């Protein structure tokens, strides 16, 4: 059977159109160039403290600590119930601390401590927990006031408070690390300190 040239041309055109419709390149170029379909962003893994090197404080002391849900409480709310003092002297034998009261100034850039010019005396319970940064990696160490050694506990608080380390670091004993002499404290009904934790402002 003979097929006319015009009919042959029409059939070839139909085949060509069908082939083009199935070719990814004819629908806007290489399919891989269009990218995969959008997907929801991956949820972050780990707790907020995972972004910090191990051994360091999970958050700058002076800022509210992370809660179990991984969220920090509001700065003003936190410091409304957390007292901060600036220690200037300490009699280790009696547990007497001389300190300036500190007001927390919460800003968008963090918390800043304003130290008052007036001083207040406190007594530290022998059973009080004393938490200090004991090296430049800001690693925390906690002991009781009565069990502290020459390098931690109340001895650490005393050495840092009574040494001009902020202006002359070399005045510190070898191996000592001091920060800003700021401490969060809790007191009992008699006003005796039951916990002392080193902290610092932003």
- What confidence tens digit (pLDDT) does each residue in 54-68 have? 334 434 444 444 444
Please check whether residue 183 is in contact with residue 198, taking contact to mean a CB–CB distance below 8 angstroms: yes
Q: Given this model, what pLDDT does residue 24 score?
A: 41
The pLDDT value given to residue 149: 78
Residue pLDDT tens, the chain, 202 long: 444 444 444 444 444 444 444 444 444 444 444 444 444 444 444 433 333 333 344 344 444 444 444 455 688 898 988 999 999 999 988 999 999 999 999 998 889 999 999 899 999 999 999 999 988 888 899 999 988 877 788 999 999 999 998 888 888 888 788 999 999 999 999 999 999 999 988 7
In whole numbers, what is the pLDDT of the chain averaged over residues?
A: 74
DSSP state of 7: H
CA–chain centroid gap for 113, Å, is 17
Integer angstrom CA distances of residue 89 from 95, 97, 122, 158:
11, 6, 11, 6
What is residue 47's predicted lDDT score, i.e. its pLDDT?
A: 39
Residue spans per domain, the chain: 55-199
Q: Is 136 exposed, middle or buried (0-12, 13-18, 19+ CB in 10 A)?
A: exposed
- The CA distance from 149 to 144, in Å, is 10
Q: b or e along 48-86 (b: 16 or more beta carbons within 10 Å of the residue's beta carbon)?
A: eeeeeeeeebeeebbbbeeeeeeeeeebeebbeebebbb
pLDDT digits (tens, 9 = 90+) for 26-59: 444 444 444 444 444 444 444 333 333 333 443 4
């Amino acid at each position: 059977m003979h097929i006319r040239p015009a009919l042959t041309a029409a059939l070839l055109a139909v085949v060509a159109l069908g082939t083009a419709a199935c070719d990814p390149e004819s629908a806007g170029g290489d399919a891989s160039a269009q990218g995969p379909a959008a997907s929801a962003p991956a949820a972050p893994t780990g707790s907020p403290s995972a972004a910090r090197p191990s051994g360091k404080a999970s958050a700058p002391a002076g800022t509210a600590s992370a809660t179990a849900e991984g969220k920090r409480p509001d700065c003003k709310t936190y410091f409304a119930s957390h007292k901060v003092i600036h220690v200037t002297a300490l009699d280790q034998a009696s547990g007497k601390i001389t300190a300036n009261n500190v007001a927390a100034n919460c800003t968008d850039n963090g918390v800043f401590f304003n130290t008052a010019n007036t001083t207040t005396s406190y007594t530290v319970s022998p059973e009080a927990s004393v938490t200090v940064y004991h090296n430049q990696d800001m690693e925390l160490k906690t002991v009781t006031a009565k069990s502290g050694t020459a390098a931690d506990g109340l001895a650490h608080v005393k050495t840092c408070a009574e040494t001009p380390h902020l202006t002359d670091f070399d005045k510190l004993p070898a191996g000592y690390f001091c920060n800003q002499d700021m401490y969060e404290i809790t007191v009992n009904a008699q006003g005796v300190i039951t916990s002392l934790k080193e902290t610092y402002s932003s």
